[in-house]
């Protein structure tokens, strides 16, 4: 029964930002797993105001 309840519980989404070759945010994603691709970085939160701009260094989540 505990195994079933564990599966039904929703995971807290994690937030990711897609960076271009200049280090600017191009897209944000929130989900349970990291998107495929090399330029995705995990961030503490997702803010629409970051799109088109470099990410603030304090927003990056330590790996």
Looking at residue 7, its pLDDT comes to 67
Domain ranges of the chain: 13-55
In this predicted model, what pLDDT tens digit does every residue of 14-23 receive, in sequence order?
A: 999 999 999 9
Give strand pairing partners of 15: 30, 43
* Sign of torsion over alpha carbons 11, 61, 18, 25: positive
Is the distance from CB of 1 to CB of 16 less than 8 angstroms? no
Please tell me the distance from the alpha carbon of residue 61 to that of residue 48, in angstroms, as a whole number.
17
Looking at residue 11, its pLDDT comes to 74
In this predicted model, what pLDDT tens digit does every residue of 2-58 receive, in sequence order?
A: 776 666 676 788 999 999 999 999 999 999 888 998 899 999 999 999 999 999 988
Looking at residue 57, its pLDDT comes to 86
Report the run of H or E that residue 8 belongs to, with start and end. Answer: helix 2-8
**Residue 3, both tokens:** 């195994």
């Amino acid at each position: 029964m505990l195994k079933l309840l564990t599966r039904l519980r929703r995971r807290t989404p994690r937030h990711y930002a897609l960076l271009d070759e200049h280090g600017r945010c191009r897209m944000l994603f929130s989900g349970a797993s990291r998107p495929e691709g090399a330029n995705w970085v995990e961030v503490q939160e997702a803010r629409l105001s970051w799109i088109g701009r470099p990410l603030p260094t304090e927003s990056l989540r330590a790996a």
